[in-house]
Structure 1
Amino acid sequence: MTHILEVLRGRLIVSCQPVDHGPMDRPGIVAAMAEAAVAGGAAGLRIEGFDNLAAVRARVSVPIIGILKRDLTDSPVRITPLHEDVAGLIARGADIVALDATARPRPVPFADLVAAVRGAGRLAMADCATLAEAKAAQALGVEILGSTLSGYTEETLSADPLPDLALLRAMRALGGFVMAEGRYNSPDLAAAALAAGADAVTVGSALTRLEHATGWFAAALARGRA
């Protein structure tokens, strides 16, 4: 499975995650998004949910990062928090399983989830918010370190619309495969991520959340009318 990292190196991964409960939040539409992203040059995909993953896997051959989001009552961890989430994603064809790697209260120890992913012969990705979390994930043998949650946890909460390039540079110094993710919403920012040391870049909202991207343009025009 480590050859997948070479397939993704220097390339774009598209996160096909429509707005929850929005008009595009259907497996068939997500699969069409995924096919369109691959046709446009994406080397890999990030897909949320069992049904979406199964639909996408049937229609593309590129590597897929699978995640399962849950809203738990006793933990702020949302991304693939349970053993059954890991098993379900693998059963539906995920090549890589992304896990929340933050140092927050969680229902299952992060190390146990990493062991389950790697024990099944898949690659593990750590969705981190801080360098300390990246270091801890690397010590467990996680193959991909992502900046995914920087700016989205209580410790790192930020209104800065720009991505955390400083975290990428610090993660690069650790060695291993570094994934830039989180607020990379323009081609220039994606290129800046590679320059900062990322091995690959994941882009989501700018490409697959039409409501968000439309809102950016609508807001700019509204400011122009003011």
Structure 2
Amino acid sequence: MKSKEEILESIKGGLVVSCQALPEEPLHSSYIMGRMAYAAFEGGAIGIRANTVEDIQEIRRTVDLPIIGIIKKVYGDCPVFITPTMVEIDALAEEGVEIIALDATERVRPDGKLIEEVFPEIRRKYPDQIFMADCATYEDAKKAVELGFDCIGSTLAGYTEESKERSLPDFDLIGRMVTDFDVPVIAEGGISTPQELKKVMDLGVHAAVVGSAITRPLEITKKFVSVVK
């Protein structure tokens, strides 16, 4: 089994492709996500971000790349839905996902607790697991580093009440994270063009995740259609 350092080094300087499709989306299928991951691998991706154990298992049958695993689960009207409870953490850990990402914002979680209350328990249970903090603000990132997350991402910038006015990609947030913190920073969220990807890489991030611009043809099609209507 590779060490934390070896896993993080394996994605350094590269592109992670997010291969996800929710139940209401046309490409919702573990088989299709496996093929998406294979296409990403063939194109030069060095990692995959994937949702659900079923998709992750199919992707593992298709490519041998490190996976950033999440489970999106909605609990009532709680806004935290990216790996929101220990149930999802346990499922991903049992699957042996290299990196587990979870919402690390200041929002109250489904169990009524804050990230600073739940992450110490998660870390005690899984001391050797790599955990990525999906952050929305600089304050989220600062707290995540203090709590001992192994890497931090800009994943939720623009998607919370505190950050909804931010334009994406949030170059300012990403740059501050790289400058101020000594843990790997993974740029994610709103990277839509190769030029934007190069700009975030030039900021000194450890790696970057691109999803919709590569693996969501419905959204890509809408962008093109919007200019011809």
Normalised by the size of structure 2, how large is the TM-score?
Answer: 0.91
- Whether 2:225 is the aligned partner of 1:218: answer yes
Tell which deviates more after alignment, 114-123 or 23-32.
Answer: 114-123
8 Å CA contact 2:107, 2:114 repeated in 1: no
Q: Which runs of 5+ in 2 are unaligned?
A: none
Residue 124 of structure 1 corresponds to 131
8 Å CA contact 1:205, 1:212 repeated in 2: yes
**1:199 alignment partner AA:** H
- SS of 2:228's partner is helix
Q: For 1:125-164, list aligned pairs within 5 A.
A: 125-158=132-165, 160=167, 162-164=168-170
- Whether 2:207 is the aligned partner of 1:200: answer yes
CA distance in 2, matches of 1:118, 1:148: 25
- SS of 2:227's partner is helix
Post-superposition offset of 1:26: 0.4
CA RMSD of aligned residues (A): 1.6
- SS of 1:2's partner is helix
- Whether 2:184 is the aligned partner of 1:181: answer no
CA distance in 1, matches of 2:84, 2:22: 21
- SS of 2:186's partner is strand
Cα 1:126–1:206, aligned 2, differ >3 Å: closer, same or farther? same
Moved over 4 A (4+): none
8 Å CA contact 1:16, 1:34 repeated in 2: yes
Post-superposition offset of 1:53: 1.2
Cα 1:114–1:49, aligned 2, differ >3 Å: closer, same or farther? farther
Cα 1:114–1:38, aligned 2, differ >3 Å: closer, same or farther? farther
- SS of 2:192's partner is coil
- SS of 1:221's partner is coil
CA distance in 2, matches of 1:45, 1:115: 27
Cα 1:81–1:67, aligned 2, differ >3 Å: closer, same or farther? same
Provide the aligned length of Structure 1 versus Structure 2.
Answer: 221
Residue 51 of structure 1 corresponds to 54
CA distance in 1, matches of 2:34, 2:73: 21
**1:104 alignment partner AA:** R
Spell out, residue by residue over 1:91-125, the C-alpha distance to the aligned partner (whole angstroms, 9 max, x if none). Answer: 22311000100001112543434653574322000
